[in-house]
Amino acid sequence: MSIQCPSCLTDNADNAVSCISCGTPLSTNAPSPSALQSGTLLGQGKYKIEKILGQGGFGITYKGIYVQNSAPVAIKELWPEGAARQGSTVFWPSSIAPVDRQKQITEFQTEASNVQKCVHSHIVKVYDWFQENDTAYIVMELLSGKPLDKILKEEGILEENRAKYYFLQIADALKVIHGNNLLHRDIKPDNIIIVHPDRAVLIDFGAAREFIAGQTARMTGILTAEYAPYEQYLSKAQRFPATDFYALCASFYELLTGQLPVNSAERAGALSSKNPDPFESPRKFNSNLSPLIEKIIITGMQFRAEDRFQTADELIDALNGKFISPIQKRAHELVKQGKLVEAVQIYEKILTNEPSNGEATVELALIQMYIDDRKAELAAQKAIQLQQKDGRGYGVLGLVNCRKSNWTEAAKYLQQAANLSPQETWIQANLAWALGKSGNWQQAEIVVNQALSVDSNCTFALGIQAWISVKQQQWRPAVRAATQAVFRLKQTPLSNYKESQLWIYPYLIIALEKAVITQQANDVERRIQEFIAQVPDSSVAWGLMGWKKAKYGLWNDALYNFEQASHKTQVPSWILINHGITQEHLQNVQGAIQVYEIHSQKFPPYALVCFRLGTLYGKLGQWAQGRIHLEKAIHLNRNYAQAYHNLGWVLLNLKNQNGQVENFREMLSAYRKASELYTMQQKNSLAAGIQQAFQLIGMNL
């Protein structure tokens, strides 16, 4: 017959003097004089003592039965050191003041209350607790099994899959414990019992305490040095579930290696002296350990609580092969908050410690796309080396080439990315963009439809679909895609919300303008007003309203909108050109010249702008200035018939002091070229007009 230890519930041989696991003295020869007698009733007759299982410094554990159905139970009695008994009543030693006596009873019952909250197959069950005989009792599940420390001594280190099986069971138990705002605070192999058939059960909640994550509270000195994180040594420390994860990982460090990890107090001393952390990887002692389990144990035993697993779910996911380190998860949170530079710093820290972490390298490349294309490219190349079957690295290279307008190269990388990661919508959508820019519209349409089959709500893919449809003059499909994209953007505001609206709205408005045949449609103007309301600082939005007003000849309204557009940042060329044309329609020559000159300063030389400037300077009689701009227009476009025509007019008016045309031959040449080009362009009436004008003065071009 075995004797069960009252402190840790380990089964010991019937001749054992002390517990083989925790050293608690055992008594086998005769009933303890301090113990309750067999047959004693407790809990107002609900429970009956059968025998003593053992006695420790602070309690006596009995085997008993629940009288109503004879179910076996374990009954733990609070037995203060130095106490005595008369009958069933406990007499406390005089050294324990009444206030401290009540505190011990309250804490004993709090242990029972804490455990009873945590109903789980891998947590010892507490059925009842009560005060009686001037002390307190806890009625628990009677466990028959061995603690892991005894299994380690008898069988040697555990095989990894077996250890992982127990690891998962206790992690799942901790999920319930922490969900009740409790910390166990004394997890160790002694406190994990393996019962038939192969169930790990967490016991001994004497050190358990309530906590609020992250708050500072006084921590009592109950700990086992080899398994306790450093914050448990501090009288005041922040409380985290990570405290229990450290102890659990330290326990499995020992179970998988046979070695106790260096205790955290020693680590603290080394780190405070600016020396390396003396912690050693478990693989040093067990080379057969998998990289995953090694990484889990090292993460769970990080010195800083915030660098460990923060929830039981994180630990469980890691054990199931979905490992994401807490520091990497912190980077994810920063990305969600839009703090990309801070996220990059964390990823760089991760990769300094883990240079072969392919997932972190890929994620760094994805973030760098929003900050620095060159660094994104370097990170993507490294990611491809580390994770050859992950298409996202190729996707980053493709997008970087899109931004450089290297469309053929971009399409090549994005096609590789799509082949490897067909479920990544952003890759498919960017491939469609690159194919469209390469002129392969049919294939672009196929690819963007594939992207939307993966995620029909992807605003970028919907926007690309609208762009492709506009380029192919498929107006109704363009309206449908762009409308859906705008709707999704309103529903799910993102960090690039306005940026997406800036390029999607114009395609919606263009497609609406082309698709709506009747004038019923205030749809176009309504959408432009909506665009302005959504992005009031967009020059494009105001420019589109100016364009719409100009189309109906509402030149003053058009001028107002173009002026609003021109005062915004990043004003595109077409807005300034239309602004200038509007000024011309309002007979404001100087205003038009001013706008065209601004265009010339901001953008590369453009034939139309040079033509308008040359013509307007001619209208003001500034013939030399007019000539300069018109010749520039012709230089930019050798087939610009109107520019040759107006150059002839300007040269005709450039006269010397004698009133003669200074550049007669050049003038004739310009008119002749204009006539030739008009004829080639089938503008015969204009060509004939020039010919007739010269014939009237007796000249033949």
3-state secondary structure 89-141: EEECCCCCCHHHHHHHHHHHHHHHHHHHHCCCCCECCEEEEEEECCEEEEEEC
Question: Can you tell me whether residue 193 is helix, strand or coil?
Answer: strand
Specify if 515 maps to a domain.
no
Give CB contacts under 8 A, 24+ apart, made by 195-198.
Answer: 195/143, 195/144, 195/145, 196/144, 196/145, 198/165
SS3 call for 371? coil
Question: What are the pLDDT digits (tens) for 517-537?
Answer: 555 557 899 999 999 998 899
pLDDT tens-place string over residues 380-435: 999 999 999 999 999 999 999 999 999 999 999 999 999 999 999 999 999 999 99
End-to-end CA distance of the chain: 129
pLDDT band at residue 26 using 50, 70 and 90 as cut-offs: low
CA distance 270 to 266: 6
Q: Please check whether residues 192 and 70 belong to one and the same domain.
A: no
Provide the β-strand partners of residue 65: 48, 72
Tell me which H or E stretch contains 631.
helix 623-636
CATH number of the domain enclosing 678: 1.25.40.10
Q: Report, as an integer, the average pLDDT of 121-135.
A: 94
Burial class (CB in 10 A: 0-12, 13-18, 19+), 302: buried
Q: What is the mean pLDDT of the chain?
A: 90
pLDDT score, position 111? 81
Task: Determine the pLDDT at residue 206.
Answer: 63
What is the pLDDT, as a whole number, of residue 59?
A: 85
Spatial CA neighbour of 433 closest among 377, 395, 488, 384:
395
Query: Does 122 score more than 60 pLDDT?
Result: yes
Beta bridge pairs of residue 202: 123, 192
Mean pLDDT value of segment 598-602: 96
pLDDT reading at 107 higher than 80: yes
Are residues 613 and 641 both part of a single domain? Answer: yes
pLDDT tens column, 141-197: 998 899 999 999 999 999 999 999 999 999 999 999 999 988 988 899 999 999 999
Pick from 39, 222, 214, 199: which is nearest to 125 by CA? 199
Same domain, yes or no, for 589 and 567? Answer: yes
pLDDT at 214: 41
- Residue 283 is classified by DSSP as G
The answer to the question of residue 467 being in a domain is: no
Residue 215 has pLDDT above 50, yes or no: no
- Domain assignment present for 656: yes
Does residue 87 share a domain with residue 16?
Answer: no
pLDDT digits (tens, 9 = 90+) for 608-617: 999 999 999 9
| Mean pLDDT across 677-699 | 92
- Check whether residue 191 and residue 228 sit in a common domain: yes
Distance CA 210, CA 115 (A): 11
Kind of pairing between the strands at 135-140 and 71-78: antiparallel
Residue 26 and residue 38 in one domain: no
- Whether residue 377 lies inside any domain: the answer is no
Give the domain CATH number at 298: 1.10.510.10
Of 142, 166, 185, the residue at which a domain comes to its end is 142
Domain boundary among 110, 142, 174: 142
Backbone angles phi, psi at 582, to 5 degrees: -65, -40
Is 459 within the bounds of a domain?
A: no
**Distance (Å, whole) CA 515 – CA 512:** 5
3-state secondary structure of 238: strand
**Single pTM value for the model:** 0.66
Residue 226 confidence (pLDDT): 87
Do 84 and 218 share a domain, yes or no?
A: no
Residues 86 and 170 in one domain: no
Q: pLDDT-based confidence at 237, cuts 50/70/90?
A: low
Asked whether residue 232 carries a pLDDT value surpassing 70, the answer given is yes
User: Do 124 and 175 fall within a single domain?
Assistant: no
Q: How many domains does the chain have?
A: 4
Q: 667 near 645, Cβ under 8 Å?
A: no
Distance CA 105, CA 111 (A): 10
Q: What is the pLDDT of residue 318?
A: 94
Domain containing residue 652 = 522-696
Same domain flag for 136 and 164: no
pLDDT at 511: 92
CATH number at residue 129: 3.30.200.20
Are both 644 and 674 inside the same structural domain? Answer: yes
Dist. CA 450–CA 458, nearest whole Å? 12
| 380 domain-assigned | no
Distance CA 578, CA 635 (A): 23
Q: Which of 323, 342, 361 is the last residue before a domain boundary?
A: 323
The residue that leads in pLDDT, 2 or 592, is 592
Q: Are residues 531 and 579 in the same domain?
A: yes
Q: Is residue 166 in some structural domain? A: yes
pLDDT of residue 11: 66
Does the residue 270 lie in any domain?
A: yes
* CA 88 and chain centroid, separation: 62
pLDDT computed for residue 115 by the predictor: 85
- Of all residues in the chain, the percent with pLDDT exceeding 70 is 90
Pull the structure tokens for residue 446: 């196929």
